[in-house]
Structure 1
Amino acid sequence: MDLLPLTAVSPVDGRYHNATKELADYFSEYALIKYRVFVEVEYFIRLCNSGIPQLRHFDGTLNSRLRAIYEQFSLEDAQWIKTKEKETNHDVKAVEYFLKDRFEAMGLTDSLEFIHFGLTSQDINNTAIPYSWKKALTEVYLPQLNALIDALDRLATDWSEVPMLARTHGQPASPTRLGKEIRVFTERLIAQRQQLEAIPYGAKFGGATGNFNAHKVAYPETDWVAFGNAFVEDTLGLHRSKTTTQIEHYDYFAAHCDALKRINTILIDLCRDIWTYISMDYFKQKITKGQIGSSAMPHKVNPIDFENAEGNLGIASALLEHLAAKLPISRLQRDLTDSTVLRNIGVPMAHILIAIKSTVRGLQKLILNENALKADLEQNWAVVAEAIQTILRREGYPKPYEALKELTRINEAVTQEAIAGFVDGLNVDERVKTELKSITPANYTGV
């Protein structure tokens, strides 16, 4: 069968294709080849400015034409390279031959052997992949995460004054406000976003085993370390790992994976809380005409967006855990396992993207059911016991905690009337009694 969303093995390219298709610009085979071409072209341009005698004739006027090779890179170009790869059995070498073909067409025959000069394939892969990873995070992931944070922030503002019964250990606890509980998640997400953005995008660029051996033997007077630093950091906008084997050590990439996992954990926590509030009837959900919640029970509107998000976040974190644990480990100066694993970095990103979009969609469906929140508060007058005993402590009343414990730890509901009767029986000023009676589950919500 032809590869279509209906025939794809992975749901990220099948069922969820519409939610993930933008990632093809960063993680597809086409994208990887394009970014390899990008690095090779920019490296050649940088070489031309390095003082190599054989390249002095190249004055840089062709830079725009050279950059057009990757700026106008097409599926047909990628297919040319894939066809060549079948012959070479080496993906990066096929890119080199592609560029030589294009250079010849541009009349740059004298410069052909300075394409991929002194490099090993990992100098290309370990710059092209972190470059695409950086672009995916900054151009797709972070805007989606920011949209989710903004959605939560709007809800937190809208519901800032809505009192709600808190539950610790699943039991009624000191009341809170719905907006504040939502803002807990925005604060957590913002903090973890800052940590994610602070992690450098590590790249390796230093020849076959990281020492610029071939570069130095050909041009010993050139400061190749300075050249590599400038190319990776100034041209590519990445962070060059200075001392490496044949490959990048991936410690920064592992840190990215760990940071993404922490954000995923927060989002799972959010989804489970919202799911629970829906089950408690705190939220209704907008009904879309024609949609069905259950094939057997017509009344149901299931919180599927939050369930979908939770499942996809779990898959993503499992994959990120493997990436973080595996990639920094390589036998001696290099084995091939990193290359195999790196081809899958777009998969967890796809599952995260699905999850974030599902979460935002679910949040947009929420309808606040204030009557349910009010009823829950009204049925749990025992929660004002903390307030009463704290004020009694202030007044020097003997053993206030124990007095409230006797009132509230009974196997029946504590009513407003029972609280009022307890207050009336206290040996305190009428001023204090009035203060105590003014406290309700709805207004005892702190700051």
Structure 2
Amino acid sequence: MAPTSQSTTAPHQTLPNGRRSLASASPAIALGPLDGRYQAQAAPLVDYLSEAALNRDRVHVEVEWFVYLCEHSVLPGLSSLTEEQVAGLRRIVTEFDAGSVGELAEVEAVTVHDVKAVEYFIGDRLEDLGLGRLKPLVHFGCTSEDINNLAYAVGIRDAVADVWLPAARGLVERVAELAESAREVPMMSRTHGQPATPTTLGKEMAVLAHRLRRQVRAVEHQEFLGKINGATGTYAAHVAAVPGADWQAVSRGFVEHLGLTWNPLTTQIESHDWQAELYSSMAHFNRVLHNLCTDVWSYISIGYFRQIPVEGATGSSTMPHKINPIRFENAEANLEISCSLLDTLGQTLVTSRWQRDLTDSSSQRNIGVAFGHSILAISNVDKGLAKLDVAEEVLAADLDQNWEVLAEAIQMVMRAEAVAGVEGMDNPYERLKDLTRGHRVDQARLREFVAGLGLSAEAEARLSELTPATYNGIAARLVDYVR
């Protein structure tokens, strides 16, 4: 979070090293990059995962709980509200703005409790709606975590649906489009960094698109759980106040009314297992994307991809010829930061001492940061991929200099011929190893070797026509799996 703005007329503070403090600058100077240098990319998350958004969602949960209790006449003496009253209550949420944030902060400064401040914030508005007598109904039967777990679930769910998933899906489509456009482009594979059985560039991009899409699907199917069952999850206060109500049915109905999945069995806190599951899937997506970054960076380094120059941009401060692959390097760093936070959240949130401790309160305030670094990385990779051009002539030249990769094909044909009863096909692997290991073998030498094997005419003709560029099996067809 950025420091609070202060007037530029405030006296300058001096640091121990004699420099002037920047903390009082106006507008405020951000401490973190997501609120500073990269604010534009992370900005969409502010409406879902900032402290202000959390408070708005707390207000939303409290208001909906109030309306739900009235509409279902859960307490004696309650009746349905008028349409005007319901609309007025919900306007507290829809009109929640910067002024509301400031007012709520002033209340919290007195209560020194964020959720209690929300209760008072709503209560102060009931009189104008003709609901003053129902002020005790605000926060009825609730512990703070009843409100917090639901507010977080709503905010995280909407951040995933409205921000993270669209960005992730867009990136997957970008990779899938690259796979489609390069499906027929032959490419030298490198296993263990060494020339290996050729493939196509499109197939290799398709592998990454397929992996990323699986993790997107896992996030799409994620449950978002919630509970509203009191101080230790027993409905004790609810039953004491209104013993005749079916509080489990009320709880389930309300949680599902919010569009969440009801958790029937908790301590004071909702157990956060769904959050750990979500963050695991997101972190897995990040790690696959990190793999894409390292692969593409490496392809750029050997010339398989050309980077399209950006008008006016500087590649290197001293070497004018360079276009550095900074989008992919930036993404790598942000993916690592995002994963470290997502992993920490997943590990921390699933443990709570006995019926409740407060470690989750501090941890969850970093959810937006974890999402933000992932979004920033996705944005960078998307922009980086958009500025790539496939250097087909470089890929072709690389293949043409590595005819020895056909050794695999030749020895497999020899094995098949041996099974078919053709004589002289003994020790195919060893013979090809002697021919190729530690040696560069050109087209002429390989064809001479094939001609002297005594293969069937059909097999010899097939191998004689094979080149490194055509030895890629059904690689191009495999791209269909990402359609």
Alignment equivalent of 1:86, drawn from 109, 124, 128 = 109
* AA of the residue aligned to 1:309: A
* AA of the residue aligned to 1:338: D
* AA of the residue aligned to 1:343: R
Distance 1:427 1:388 in 2: 12
Alignment equivalent of 1:108, drawn from 112, 128, 131 = 131
Q: Is 1:20 matched with 2:42?
A: yes
Which deviates the most, 98-107 or 266-275?
Answer: 98-107
Q: Is the 8 A contact 2:303 2:394 kept in 1?
A: yes
Q: Is the 8 A contact 1:247 1:334 kept in 2?
A: yes
Shift of 1:440: 0.4
Distance 2:231 2:386 in 1: 52
Superposed, 1:114-133 pairs within 5 Å as 114-133=137-156
Alignment equivalent of 2:96, drawn from 41, 52, 73 = 73
Unaligned runs of at least 5 residues, structure 2: 1-22, 419-424, 475-483
Equivalent in the alignment of 1:372: 394
Q: Is the 8 A contact 2:67 2:81 kept in 1?
A: no
Distance 1:108 1:70 in 2: 17
Distance 2:67 2:91 in 1: 13
* AA of the residue aligned to 2:54: L
Equivalent in the alignment of 2:120: 97
Paired residue secondary structure (2:300):
helix
Equivalent in the alignment of 2:380: 358
Alignment equivalent of 1:191, drawn from 207, 214, 228 = 214
Alignment equivalent of 2:434, drawn from 393, 400, 406 = 406
Alignment equivalent of 1:417, drawn from 432, 444, 451 = 444
Q: Is the 8 A contact 1:118 1:207 kept in 2?
A: yes
Equivalent in the alignment of 2:260: 238
Shift of 1:314: 0.2
Shift of 1:8: 0.3
Which deviates the most, 107-116 or 137-146?
Answer: 107-116
Shift of 1:257: 1.1
Which deviates the most, 419-428 or 369-378?
Answer: 419-428
Q: Is 1:391 matched with 2:382?
A: no
Q: Is 1:435 matched with 2:467?
A: no
Which deviates the most, 49-58 or 121-130?
Answer: 49-58
Paired residue secondary structure (1:245):
coil
* AA of the residue aligned to 1:433: E
Q: Is the 8 A contact 2:71 2:80 kept in 1?
A: no
Q: Is the 8 A contact 1:45 1:60 kept in 2?
A: no
Shift of 1:184: 0.3
Distance 2:208 2:32 in 1: 31
Q: Is the 8 A contact 2:85 2:129 kept in 1?
A: no
- Give the TM-score normalised by the residue count of structure 2: 0.90
Equivalent in the alignment of 1:227: 250
Over the matched positions of the two proteins, sequence identity in percent amounts to 45
User: What is the RMSD computed on CA atoms of the aligned residues?
Assistant: 1.4
Shift of 1:60: 5.1
Distance 1:399 1:319 in 2: 54
Distance 2:24 2:129 in 1: 37
Q: Is the 8 A contact 1:5 1:14 kept in 2?
A: no
Q: Is 1:253 matched with 2:275?
A: yes
Unaligned runs of at least 5 residues, structure 1: none
Shift of 1:392: 1.7
Aligned length, in residue pairs? 445
Equivalent in the alignment of 1:156: 179
Distance 1:253 1:112 in 2: 33
* AA of the residue aligned to 1:347: V
Shift of 1:59: 4.7
Distance 2:197 2:60 in 1: 58
Distance 1:109 1:319 in 2: 44
Shift of 1:57: 6.1
Shift of 1:61: 4.9
Distance 2:80 2:196 in 1: 78
Paired residue secondary structure (1:54):
coil
Q: Is the 8 A contact 2:34 2:372 kept in 1?
A: yes
Paired residue secondary structure (1:316):
helix
Equivalent in the alignment of 2:421: none
Q: Is the 8 A contact 1:4 1:14 kept in 2?
A: no
Distance 2:26 2:279 in 1: 30
Question: Could you report, residue by residue, the CA deviation over 1:254-277 in whole angstroms, capped at 9, with x for unpaired residues?
Answer: 111111111111011010000000
Paired residue secondary structure (1:284):
strand
* AA of the residue aligned to 1:412: H
Q: Is 1:147 matched with 2:147?
A: no
Equivalent in the alignment of 1:308: 330
Distance 1:3 1:22 in 2: 25
Distance 2:69 2:247 in 1: 11
Q: Is 1:273 matched with 2:300?
A: no
Paired residue secondary structure (2:404):
helix
Distance 2:265 2:273 in 1: 13
Shift of 1:403: 1.9
Shift of 1:340: 1.1
Which deviates the most, 5-14 or 352-361?
Answer: 5-14
Shift of 1:430: 3.8
* AA of the residue aligned to 2:339: S
Alignment equivalent of 1:214, drawn from 237, 258, 264 = 237
Shift of 1:202: 1.8
Q: Is the 8 A contact 1:246 1:333 kept in 2?
A: yes
Shift of 1:321: 1.0
Q: Is 1:30 matched with 2:48?
A: no
* AA of the residue aligned to 1:405: K
Distance 2:356 2:147 in 1: 15
Question: Could you report, residue by residue, the CA deviation over 1:318-354 in whole angstroms, capped at 9, with x for unpaired residues?
Answer: 0111101111111111111111111111001000000
Distance 1:367 1:103 in 2: 62
- Describe the shift of the 1:57–1:20 C-alpha distance in structure 2 as closer, same or farther (beyond 3 A): closer
Which deviates the most, 53-62 or 274-283?
Answer: 53-62
Equivalent in the alignment of 1:39: 61
Shift of 1:432: 3.0
Equivalent in the alignment of 2:192: 169
Shift of 1:141: 0.3
Q: Is the 8 A contact 2:300 2:306 kept in 1?
A: yes
